Structure 1
Amino acid sequence: MASTKDWFETVAEAQRRARKRLPKSVYYALVAGAEQGITLADNVAAFDELGFRPHIAGLPPQRDQKTTVMGQEIDLPVLISPTGVQAVDPEGEVAVARAAHSSNIQNPLNPEQTVSTAMGLSSFASRSVEDVCAVHDKVFFQVYWAGSKEDILERALRAKRAGAKGLIVTLDWTFATRRDWGSPPIPEKVDVKAALQFAPEMITKPRYLLDWAKSGKIPDLKAPNMAPPGGGDAPTFFGAYGVWWTTPLPTWDDVAWLREKWGGPFMVKGIMHPDDARRAVDAGATAVSVSNHGGNNLDGTPAAIRALPAIVDAVGDQIEVVMDGGIRRGADVVKALALGARAVLIGRAYLWGMAAQGERGVTNVLSILYKGIDEALLGLGKKSIHELSRDDLIIPENFTRVSKL
């Protein structure tokens, strides 16, 4: 069906609606990438270089998308990637969790089908891990190497007590505030000074203001999951980042220590080099995410999808490999699976959906991807995502641009 007021047919339309609804600074915080944006652009463009090899008869009448990631069964191979403070909607991460827990996917073969997927929750999230785990039972908690080892471990154990099923350790980010188009101005906290500074932006976005007014809240730029162990006020979003920036960088021995102390499913996120993937295996990780932090790491790094095949070849028989970066369509998901990923994570796509329609918008994005995956499986003549292989793709020479050493 065509897009309507309450429904959109593409992630691109979700992005257009997000831009229309959000204040300029909030919107640009969702689309910004490091420095010139080379990696940011390549994350999306690289998918267009991959072609399909379809079949036209004897196609399967039903297609299966179920898989398992870090011990959790999911109904489609798309997970919610952890992202920081979500001030695009008053419900924030709780709305995302509800959508991930039970999305009423509009599948022509089964219009009432409800699917569920797992959600990564950032330690820099605007809602607590307790709030999110209360509405979803498949949460992976994400930590940065921020603060003392004891603080990091207690943060992880707090998440486990709340019900988190796995731990994601994000190690990629050569932080750069520089953007060739200018970094979006974001206040450290919402106070009178910030209200006056951003009033011209807010006045032009009445729906955004109305949604917050109806909620009885104001955008809270704190990171409750970074609150000091034993109690105390949570730092602001930028305060949490300050802790991260000033913490000594971890070693692989540190990663192995946290893996042992956590004692459960454990993902290392930010892998772009086969050597790092092997080190993650040695550290005891159960999964790796091929990721360049959505183009917010070292600019000039190739797209994550380009790095995926070499990492799958290096460790795919020993560890679960997922990837994130640039997913905009179900066909993109299928291309990643054909190159060896077990599943993908999405970030901007669901944030745009939430900005467009709140929880319903997140469900809308998951529905778009679910239907797109199903259509691609049909065209390729596959009855399951587990039948996909590189033979289903037309891969141009030098596509990977990543050493296999």
Structure 2
Amino acid sequence: MSITWFESIAEAQRRAKKRLPASVYSALIAGSEKGLTLQDNLAAYDELRFAPRTAGLPGERDLSTSVLGRDVALPVLISPTGVQAVHPDGEVAVARAAAARGTSMGLSSFASKPVEEVVAANPNTYFQVYWTGSRDDILQRLDRARSAGAVGIILTLDWSFSHSRDWGSPHIPDKLTLRELIRFAPEGMMHPRWLLAYARTKKLPDLSVPNMAEPGTPVPSFFGAYGQWMQTAPPSWEDVSWLRKQWDGPFLLKGVYRVDEARRAVDAGVSAISVSNHGGNNLDGTPATIRALPAVAEAVGNEVEVLLDGGIRRGSDVVKALALGARAVLIGRAYLWGLAAGGQAGVENVLDVLRNGIDSTLLALGHRSVHDLSRDDLIVPEGFERRIGA
């Protein structure tokens, strides 16, 4: 076995921490304010227990499913995350890894790589949209994603402005000027392998967001695009319905938490919803997504596909989410740690770790397929669920 291989997401995280400059790594692990939601996203899975079987276990298991009408080899998709400067290849490496493991790629509109390059690396790519700028601005981004070959869009609504982190936020420059390079030099010198990876490309870490560029205008920086987002009024449900009408393919609404809003999402015509709290980087003090999932799945799971995003660190976590009603899960930090630890191979490794964990859990539960999972496979403690807006 290669010494570069790792057998757990926790090991990927340790390697990412060792390889990355402190400010880059801290941007990956941070939650908002006190981090209550971030902590609960992880801790909630520990409260769920399995009800295993002993004899008659299946010799082979099938992990494949379909999400938004497209077949995937396992019920784990790549959640869109912003500028992936943890590795020079960024989103393209992630897209290639997802394609190699037979699953879908979510590409952030704040990504560091253009949608055209990412779709070329993985034709099963969904373009993520923030409600930023005017309707005409948004339509221009949709047209570009459509022309590039994106198979669907993800409208992210689980990110509102969180003003602080109790442990402080890392310094992230708007541009890597000479002054910023001098300021960053001590961190970079302490992590020579990360620095060398960029040196080989003869390029500095790129903090621009090409997918937010308007035709004929310079590519904006991350904070330039972020500033435009902050100055744009949040969308109404009528805006969601309007945007749905502009895209005739799969449409995932990310950030639904409440039962009443899940029903409104169905009325707006979305194809799927993701129960998500932006990985604990939104309003702090909201419960873990796995706690809110069962009520949402029960309410609308027969009308739209229900996905879950938040806290997935093991294949057994994926199984717990599926048993409580999720069609599949999306991962964020886990694959970013894999990307930092080993580029494309590191992301493939993360997906393999999750695949192996799903498979072994299915075996112990006595199921041949992920579609056989149900609540009966779990021991759910009293008071675990949160029926929000029911």
The amino acid of 1:79's aligned partner reads L
Task: Work out the CA distance in 2 between the residues paired with 1:404 and 1:217.
Answer: 49
The amino acid of 2:210's aligned partner reads P
Partner of 1:319 in structure 2?
A: 304
Shift of 1:402: 2.9
Instruction: List alignment gaps of at least 5 residues for structure 1.
Output: 104-115
Asked if the contact 2:260–2:389 (Cα under 8 Å) also holds between the matched residues in 1, the reply is no
Asked if the contact 1:157–1:262 (Cα under 8 Å) also holds between the matched residues in 2, the reply is no
Asked if the contact 1:142–1:170 (Cα under 8 Å) also holds between the matched residues in 2, the reply is yes
Q: Does 1:29 align with 2:27?
A: yes
Summarize deviations over 1:14-52 as a string: whole Å, max 9, x none.
000000000001000000100000000110110000000
Task: Work out the CA distance in 2 between the residues paired with 1:42 and 1:94.
Answer: 31
Partner of 1:48 in structure 2?
A: 46
Task: Work out the CA distance in 1 between the residues paired with 2:383 and 2:344.
Answer: 40
Q: 2:115 aligns with which of 129, 139, 151?
A: 129
Partner of 1:242 in structure 2?
A: 227
Shift of 1:197: 1.1
Asked if the contact 2:295–2:386 (Cα under 8 Å) also holds between the matched residues in 1, the reply is no
Shift of 1:316: 0.4
Shift of 1:233: 1.0
The amino acid of 1:293's aligned partner reads H
Task: Work out the CA distance in 2 between the residues paired with 1:219 and 1:211.
Answer: 10
Task: Work out the CA distance in 2 between the residues paired with 1:252 and 1:241.
Answer: 22
Partner of 1:149 in structure 2?
A: 135
The amino acid of 2:160's aligned partner reads T
Question: Which aligned runs of 4 or more in structure 1 are off by greater than 4 angstroms?
Answer: none
- SS of the equivalent of 1:123 reads coil
Partner of 1:117 in structure 2?
A: 103
The amino acid of 2:342's aligned partner reads Q
Q: 2:373 aligns with which of 380, 388, 393?
A: 388
Q: 2:212 aligns with which of 226, 229, 232?
A: 226
Cα 1:404–1:396 shift into 2, 3 Å? farther
Task: Work out the CA distance in 2 between the residues paired with 1:227 and 1:252.
Answer: 26
For normalisation by structure 1, the TM-score amounts to: 0.95
Asked if the contact 1:177–1:183 (Cα under 8 Å) also holds between the matched residues in 2, the reply is no
Partner of 1:215 in structure 2?
A: 201
Partner of 1:293 in structure 2?
A: 278
Task: Work out the CA distance in 1 between the residues paired with 2:36 and 2:388.
Answer: 19
Percent pairwise identity? 63
Summarize deviations over 1:112-156 as a string: whole Å, max 9, x none.
xxxx00010000000000010111110010000000011111101
The amino acid of 1:273's aligned partner reads R
Shift of 1:364: 0.3
Summarize deviations over 1:213-238 as a string: whole Å, max 9, x none.
0122110100000001x221111011
Partner of 1:39 in structure 2?
A: 37
Asked if the contact 2:257–2:388 (Cα under 8 Å) also holds between the matched residues in 1, the reply is no
Cα RMSD (Å): 0.9
- SS of the equivalent of 1:268 reads strand
The amino acid of 2:377's aligned partner reads D
Q: 1:79 aligns with which of 54, 65, 77?
A: 77
- SS of the equivalent of 1:271 reads coil
Shift of 1:404: 6.0
Asked if the contact 1:133–1:162 (Cα under 8 Å) also holds between the matched residues in 2, the reply is yes
Shift of 1:176: 1.5
Q: Which stretch shifts more, 360-369 or 194-203?
A: 194-203
